[in-house]
Amino acid sequence: MSSSSSASAGGELLGRGALEQAALLRSRELSPVELVEAHIERIEQVNPQLNAVVGLRFEAARREAREAEQRLAAAAGGAGGRVAEGAVPPLLGVPCTVKETFALEGFVHSGGSYNRREHRAARDAVTVQRTRAAGAIPLGTTNVPELAMWMETSNRIYGTTNNPYDLDRIVGGSSGGEAAIIAAGASPFGIGTDIGGSIRMPAFFCGVFGCKPTGGRVTLDSHYPGTFGDVERYCCAGPIARTARDLMPLLRIAAGDGSADDELALPPLGDPERVELRGRRVYVLDHVGQMTSGPTKRMRMALERAASALADHGAIVEPMPREVTRLSRRAPLIWLGMLGEAQRDRPDVLSFHQQMGQRADGSVVPPNLLLELLRLPFGRSRHTAPAILLALIEKAGSGASDFTARLFRLGQTLREALYALLDGEALVIAPTHPRNAPRHHVPLLFPFDFAYTALFNVMELPATAVPLGLDDRGVPLGVQVIAAHGREDASIAAALALEQSLGGWVAPPL
C-alpha cells in the first residue's frame, strides 16, 4: 500500500487485515488498547460523513481491550514476550463491527424497520457469540436498508449511508454499513448476510472482499428478519474484509462446526492455499437476465481483466455454455419464483408487507401501502420507497401460484445444469452488478439488477466478491467468483489470485 493511500486510510495500521492486526497483538508490537482506540478515532473521523455505524459501543470496547491486554501479557509470560499462535483466541483484541440485523446484546435490533426502533437484543446472536469467543471486540452496529431488502442502505431510523469513495454514491445493501466502514479503514471486518447479493453488492460497491458461503453453512440464529424452510439456505451469512486472506479464517469462526444444518451434510471447509488454479476451468457469464441492465463498458473491461489474470495463473477460461446462459436470462424471475415457492402454504410465515408492520412487542399491523405511497413525497411515511414498492410487487404476485411453480422448476433445471458444469472443480466469474456504485436513488430505475448476485443465492452456490482497484473516476471495480456447492475454498482461492495480480482493496480518499 502506498504512503499516500496509507495516510488517507488513517495510517498503515488501519489498512491492515484482521489477521495481520492479530499477529501484531500476539507479537506485542501493538496493544489491544492502542488498536481499539485507533479504530474508535477513525470511526469518529469518518462516520459523520458516512453514517455507517449506527450504534456505538466504545466504552465497553475499551474495557474489553484492557482485558485482552491482560490475557496477552499473561500468555506471553512477561512484559516483552511474544504470544505463541494458538495460545490465545485467534482474534484476541481485534476490533470489528456488527450488522444491525444480528442481535448484539443491549443494542437496537430493528432490521432497519421503524416499527422495531425500540427493540433491543437480550443476547448476542450465535454468529456474534462465535466472533467474540474468537477474541474480537465489537465497536458497534452498522446500518442496513429497511428490513434488509434493498440495494441501497437507507431507512427511517438511521438515514442513508454514503460511499467512502464518493459520498454521492450508494454503498449497496443490505450489509452496506459494514462494507462502508471496513473500506474506510475504521473496522477490520464484519459478518454480513446475503439473500440476493447483500454481502457481495456492498463489498463490490465499497471495494472490499465479501464471501457468501454455501447455503446453510453459517447459522442465522437471532437474525432479523428471520428465515424459514428453503430460505434458510438461500439466505447466507459470511465475512466482509479488506483482504482475501482474512476470508476463510473468518468464515471458519462464523461457521463453527462448518454447517448450520446437519441434514445438509456439507463438506468441511477446505484450504484455499491448497487449491490449484492451473488447469481449472473458469466460465465467464457476462449478463444474467432479460429484465436487467447489460454490464457497462467499465464492468466488461473489469471482467476481461479478471479472466486474463486467472488465465495467467493457469486457469482455462471459456465462455459460459449456451444452455446455461439461456436459462440464466430468467434470473430475476427465477429468484422471485423460488422465494415465492418457499413461502407457499406457510401461514406461519409473515409476508414482507406484514413484516413492515411488525412492532417491537411482536404485534403486527401492516401499513396501508397506497396511503404510504401518497405520504412519500411529503416525507411523512415511516417506510422507504423501495420497501413500499417491494410490498406492492409481492401483493401483485401473490395469486400467481402456477407461474411461481413453473419458475421454481426452471430454477431447478438451471441448478442441475450449473452443478453438472461446475462438478466440484470449475468456477464461474461474473459481474457483481452491471454498473459500479450508482449514485443515490439510481437503483430505483433498475430494480432487477440485483439478479446478477441473487441468482446464485437460490442456486445455493458459494460466491466471493473481489475488488479490482478503482476506475477512472476513483470508484471501485470488481467481479464475483462462483464455485461448486460446498467449495468456498475454490472461490476464495481465485480471490487470492486476483488480489495478488490486480491489487484488491485501495484506500478511499476520505
Please say whether the beta carbons of 288 and 455 come within 8 A. Answer: yes
- Which residues of the chain are modeled with pLDDT < 50? 1-10
Catalogue the active-site residues: 99, 174, 198
Three-class SS of 395-458: HHHCCCHHHHHHHHHHHHHHHHHHHHHHCCCCEEEECCCCCCCCECCHHHHCCCCCHHHHHHHH
pTM, two decimals, is 0.96
pLDDT of residue 8: 37
The model's pLDDT over 246-281, given as tens digits with 9 standing for 90+, comes to: 999 999 999 997 555 556 679 999 999 999 999 999
Of all residues in the chain, what percent carry a pLDDT higher than 70? 95
pLDDT of residue 260: 56
pLDDT of residue 348: 87
Please say whether the beta carbons of 163 and 179 come within 8 A. Answer: no
Residue 344 DSSP label: T
pLDDT of residue 320: 97
pLDDT of residue 280: 98
> What is the DSSP secondary-structure string of 120-165?
B-SS--HHHHHHHHTT-EEEEEE---GGG-SSS-EETTTEE--BTT
- The total of other beta-carbon atoms located within 10 Å of residue 265's CB is 9
pLDDT of residue 427: 98
Question: CATH homologous superfamily for 3-351+398-502?
Answer: Amidase signature (AS) domain (3.90.1300.10)
**Residue 20, burial from CB neighbour count under 10 angstroms (0-12, 13-18, 19+):** middle
pLDDT of residue 264: 67
pLDDT of residue 1: 33
The CA-atom distances, in angstroms, between 386 and each of 145, 184, 192, 289, 299 are 9, 26, 20, 21, 25
pLDDT of residue 79: 59
Please report, for the chain, the start and end positions of each structural domain, with discontinuous segments joined by +.
Answer: 3-351+398-502
